[in-house]
Amino acid sequence: MDNIEKSLKRASIRDQWIFGERMNRIGDPFRWVDGDQLPQLQGLNGGLAFLQYLAMSGEIYEAPDVIKTKDHKEVLINIKERLIKAFEYFCPFLDIDEISFQKYIDSTASVKQQDYCAIKTYCKDLSGHNINHLDIGPGLGANVIYSHLGFDSCYYSVEAYPASYRVQQDFFKFISESKGNYLDLVECDTFDLEIQKINEELNNSSKYKIKHVPSWYFNHVKKESIDLVTATWVLNEVMPAGIVWLLYNVNNSLKNGGYVYIRDSYKRKPHRHNVDYDNVLEKLGFNIVTKMNVRNRVDMHGIPRIYQKNSNLVLDFDEFFDDCFGKYAVTSHGGQYVQNLESNEK
């Protein structure tokens, strides 16, 4: 994990995140607050890390009838089979039933199936083949299964938290089955590839079906190159600077007509930030396609929403931050220490 943290430090200097207003007023866009409170996630890899991330989802809900696709049963079975193979790969010495992990496989598979079904149902003109799918903060990285299975995608994983990035490295190598179709930008950075070469591999090479992008490289994703962005249980987890950084790059990287799929509790965490990101997307020219009429933790875990980009607006990060929070807002300390916030309810 040391090379991930070194890559972040280099980017923080190169892109001036540790100088001036970006350090003293705006703050760190690459920090996961809850991760700082979970020291047990630090320093683990291999089977232990895989089991920790697999066990983050334990609730099981059947997909609502309104989004069930013709292949919804087949997709669920295939996702479960792939997760079981991953379990056997990372922990061949363990028995799933003896350690009671089948429920986590069933839960993870059901969530991924529901995401696939919702996207397939409501993103009517999204091509079913060869799409560019960018996934923000994907945890274990299991969304790649339905992405490849259902959309034959080139899958971009954007992650800022080093421990999560590390477990994703292992999982994506397993998924790619040593076929050389996995690009890891941290590894590129470790080998001192020039930015121009990294950008070439990221945006112009057709060799890769999985592209692993640390969040501090998100702005290197080619403008208007992405067909679908997914953000499940992530936008309400990050710092104020982080949410603006993600929305800024989502807007710039997504094609006009492309889709944003969000799934979380639809509630902002208290004292975390003051951004109604659904509302911000609409102000940026995104049209709401659907907000599913479901109850969180009754009908489904989370409330899925889908937006479609309908604007060619090009954003400047610092100006966008001021627009979201106010020109004199101070959010660098996070938590309850943000100051001079302007309400975005105008």
Which position has the higher pLDDT, 41 or 283?
283
In this prediction, residue 343 carries a pLDDT of 54
Enumerate the domain spans of the chain: 2-337
Q: Is the pLDDT of residue 213 over 70?
A: yes
Q: What angle do CA 32, 38, 42 make, to 5 degrees?
A: 90
Residue 345 has pLDDT above 80, yes or no: no
- Could you give the percent of the chain with pLDDT greater than 90? 81
Closest C-alpha to 168, from 133, 130, 203, 211: 211
**Range 2-337 classified under CATH 3.40.50.150:** yes
CA distance 197 to 110: 39
Asked if pLDDT for residue 338 goes beyond 90, the answer is: no
Q: Which of 185-189, 280-284, 329-333 has the lowest mean pLDDT?
A: 329-333
pLDDT confidence band for 342 (50 / 70 / 90): confident
Write the DSSP string, 26-51. I--TT-BHHHHT-GGGTT--HHHHHH
The three-class DSSP label of residue 57 is coil
- State the pTM of this model: 0.96
Q: Is the pLDDT of residue 128 over 70?
A: no
Say what the pLDDT of residue 271 is: 67
DSSP code per residue over 176-213 = HTTSS-EEEHHHHHHTT--HHHHHHHHHH--S-SEEEE
Measured in residues, the chain has a length of: 346
Summarize pLDDT for 138-161 with one digit per residue, the tens: 999 999 999 999 999 999 999 999
Strand ranges, E, within the chain: 132-136, 154-159, 182-184, 210-214, 226-232, 254-264, 286-291, 303-309
